[in-house]
């Protein structure tokens, strides 16, 4: 398995290179620049800034400079945070974004998987129809729309939850629910479909005929064999939760890297945009690798040797 992990880590290098190249190209094709403001800077000041950040060089040379710094572990200096490196700026919000994403992932797994199991065990019952109806609503409702409803109901009308911020448990409730709604619905639907595939298998009927308790049959025989498709979708879902909280962080005024990313895009902070994009690419790759490694835990017959 160690060799498999090493191969995956090596394959990440060209992926990051092309992510950097595509991001760099699109970033410079967008209209405007980092010094475009309501009051333009004096020409000499703008020229000095361009020289400091190599913005006066051809784009190919700028990319070469960036890749050279990247190989040394240097992501550059942030334009909008003078005197701070991109690493220092990202470190301010990465823990907050990870907290938000991991809590949303925990809610998605702890609610979505049991909901899918119950729906499959009570097929065509009111519980099945009701849970799948809620899953469809959760999947089709954008997180920012759900966030607005939560703010209007619980912060404006009922006034039982704060409308934004981060750190206190009450401030975490609405953003976690808004971010976890769609992944919860996805996991519920996948779990239901996977459970329905195994519920009529011979080994399940054999286990029931032996007189095993229903809980034992469901957990040890049905759910374990139904976990493969769930694990497959769990990797991208986890990656999306940890890296996809841009709108939620902005809406609820959460000081995470998603909010920093949006601010960097509007301010044309090229180094911060590049650094955050590469961080997201690494996170997606790591969570997908983790999902692949979980196959061995779910099914011991799988080997990466």
Q: How many residues does the chain have?
A: 305
Return the bridge partners of 77, or none.
Answer: 85
Instruction: Name the DSSP class of 33.
Output: -
Q: Is residue 30 part of a domain?
A: no
Which range of 3-7, 225-229, 282-286 scores highest in mean pLDDT? It is: 282-286
* Full residue range of the structural domain in which residue 126 is found: 90-265
- Tens of pLDDT, residue by residue over 199-226, are 777 777 777 787 777 777 777 777 777 7
What is the four-CA torsion angle of 75, 81, 82, 87, rounded to 10 degrees? Answer: -30
71 domain-assigned? no
In a domain, residue 279? The reply is no
Tens digit of pLDDT for each residue in 147-165? 999 999 999 999 999 998 8
The answer to whether position 298 is within a domain reads no
Segment 3-31 shows an average pLDDT of 87
Confidence of residue 244 (pLDDT cuts 50, 70, 90): low
pLDDT digits (tens, 9 = 90+) for 91-147: 888 888 889 988 998 999 899 989 988 898 888 899 889 988 988 898 888 888 999
Torsion sign over Cα 70, 16, 12, 97: positive
Give a yes or no: residue 280 inside a domain.
no
Helix (H, G, I), strand (E, B) or coil at 162: coil
In a domain, 215, yes or no: yes
Looking at residue 77, the DSSP 8-state letter turns out to be B
Mean pLDDT along residues 241-258: 83
Q: Which pLDDT does position 211 carry in this prediction?
A: 77
Tell me the average pLDDT across 269-298: 85
The whole-angstrom separation of Cα 25 and Cα 66 is: 13
What pLDDT, on a 0 to 100 scale, did the predictor assign at position 37?
65
CATH number assigned to the domain comprising residue 200: 1.10.3720.10
Would the pTM of this model clear 0.85, i.e. be above it?
Answer: no
Domain tally, the chain: 1
SS3 68: helix
**Residue 162, pLDDT score:** 92
> What pLDDT, on a 0 to 100 scale, did the predictor assign at position 175?
94
Nearest to 285 by CA among 249, 244, 246, 238: 238
**Cα dist from 190 to 78, 183, 234, 244, whole Å:** 42, 11, 10, 21
Look at residue 137 and tell me if it is in a domain: yes
* Residues in a beta bridge with 85: 77
Average pLDDT of the chain, as a whole number: 84
* 94 falls within a domain: yes
């Amino acid at each position: 398995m160690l060799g498999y992990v090493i191969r995956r880590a090596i394959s990440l290098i060209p992926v990051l290179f092309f992510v950097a190249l595509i991001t760099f190209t699109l970033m410079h094709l967008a209209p405007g620049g980092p010094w475009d403001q309501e009051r333009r800077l004096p020409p000499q000041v703008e020229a000095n800034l361009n020289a400091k950040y190599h913005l006066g060089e051809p784009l190919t040379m700028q990319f070469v400079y960036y890749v050279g710094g990247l190989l040394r572990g240097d992501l550059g200096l942030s334009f909008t945070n003078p005197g701070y490196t991109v690493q220092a700026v990202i470190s301010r919000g990465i823990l907050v974004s990870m907290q938000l994403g991991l809590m949303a992932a925990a809610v998605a797994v702890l609610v979505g998987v049991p909901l899918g199991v119950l729906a499959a065990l009570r097929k065509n019952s009111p519980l099945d129809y009701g849970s799948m109806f809620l899953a469809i609503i959760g999947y089709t409702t954008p997180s920012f729309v759900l966030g607005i409803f939560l703010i209007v109901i619980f912060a404006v009308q009922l006034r039982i939850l704060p409308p934004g911020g981060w750190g206190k448990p009450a401030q975490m409730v609405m953003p976690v629910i808004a971010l976890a709604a769609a992944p919860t619905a996805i996991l519920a639907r996948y779990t239901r479909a996977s459970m329905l595939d195994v519920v009529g298998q011979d080994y399940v009927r054999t286990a029931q005929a032996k007189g095993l308790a229903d809980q034992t049959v469901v957990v040890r025989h049905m759910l374990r064999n139904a976990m493969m498709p769930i694990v497959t979708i769990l990797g991208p879902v986890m990656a999306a939760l940890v890296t996809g909280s841009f709108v939620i962080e902005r809406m609820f005024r959460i000081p995470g890297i998603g909010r920093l990313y949006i601010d960097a895009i509007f301010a044309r902070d090229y180094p911060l945009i590049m650094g955050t994009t590469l961080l997201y690419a690494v996170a997606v790759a790591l969570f997908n690798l983790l999902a692949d490694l979980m196959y061995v835990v779910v099914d011991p017959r799988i080997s990466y040797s």
